[in-house]
Amino acid sequence: MRIQSVDLVRGVVMVIMAIDQAYRNASFPWPRYCVQSPNMGAMYIVDELDRAVELEGFPLLDPGAPCPNVFAEEHQLVLSYCVRDEPPYPPTTAPLAIVRFSRPYFHMFGPPNVETFDGHPLANQGLHPYGVFRVEKSSLIRSLERMNSVHEHHNPATFDAMTHYIFSFHDSTFECVAESMEAAIEQVGLDEEHLRTLEYFRSARTAESHHPHLRLVSDELPKERRLGKLTGGHHRASRSMIRSIHDAGTKDTTSSTAPRGASGLG
């Protein structure tokens, strides 16, 4: 009786192993809307419509040590990182980009780093390390819209105003879904990055949506510079001359005045 039980267990194990091997060897057809990638699904699923477009004129991140910082709460989101610098280098300061996102809806900060970047779902669709990107026809936004569709007052048009942004640093990647973003570059001293970013984050919670100092300076700049229509690949600034760069995708940014909660977001 014991011998029969052992044989039965061995038989079951052999069947399971055979099924597992057959599954591994089988070439199951992928759904038409999926991109065939061995790493697909590690973060989110993309399709053939997604395209990462690098943003020109945005502050170039330092490829060696960008030291990104993220400050966030439910309706506020600020990112800062060290900007690529060129000689002659100031002896006591370095350029810091501070990015504020308008109406942030979703963000994540972590892997992949530069060594594992090929595992990102968009690695073969325009995304690469050391850049700032806007994802056109983002599958992530579409999946967030579907998730929100169970809301009683769900409005799909609300998600049409959102943009998927990606910052690919050396040791991490930052992704965000928001209506728009704007950046300023400021010279900061040693170990001032956290404090300056926190000041900008706190100012975003007030009635004025910009840091008071940045608003005062950027209002004095020509319109084409305030909106980030900059030429060349390098951006420098001092505390008395701060450049404000803005990106809102291809959407009209003059219609973002609807009160939160009236949009049907759950």
pTM, rounded to two decimals: 0.66
Tens-digit pLDDT profile for residues 154-174: 999 999 999 999 999 999 999
Residue percentage of the chain with pLDDT more than 70: 65
Say which range, 87-96, 184-193, 238-247, has the weakest mean pLDDT: 238-247
Check residue 1 and give its pLDDT: 57
Asked whether residue 185 is assigned to any structural domain, the reply reads yes
When divided into structural domains, the chain yields a total of 1
- The sign of the CA dihedral 24, 25, 31, 34 is positive
Check residue 40 and give its pLDDT: 43
pLDDT of 257 strictly over 90 = no
Asked whether residue 157 is assigned to any structural domain, the reply reads yes
Check residue 159 and give its pLDDT: 94
How much is the mean pLDDT over the chain?
Answer: 74
Are the C-beta atoms of residues 99 and 78 closer than 8 Å to each other?
yes
Asked whether residue 237 is assigned to any structural domain, the reply reads yes
Domain span at 72: 51-247
The mean pLDDT of 118-142, rounded to a whole number, is 94
Q: How far is CA 74 from CA 3, 163, 196, in A?
A: 63, 18, 20
The mean pLDDT of 9-18, rounded to a whole number, is 73
- Work out the pLDDT band at 23, boundaries 50, 70, 90: low
Asked whether residue 252 is assigned to any structural domain, the reply reads no
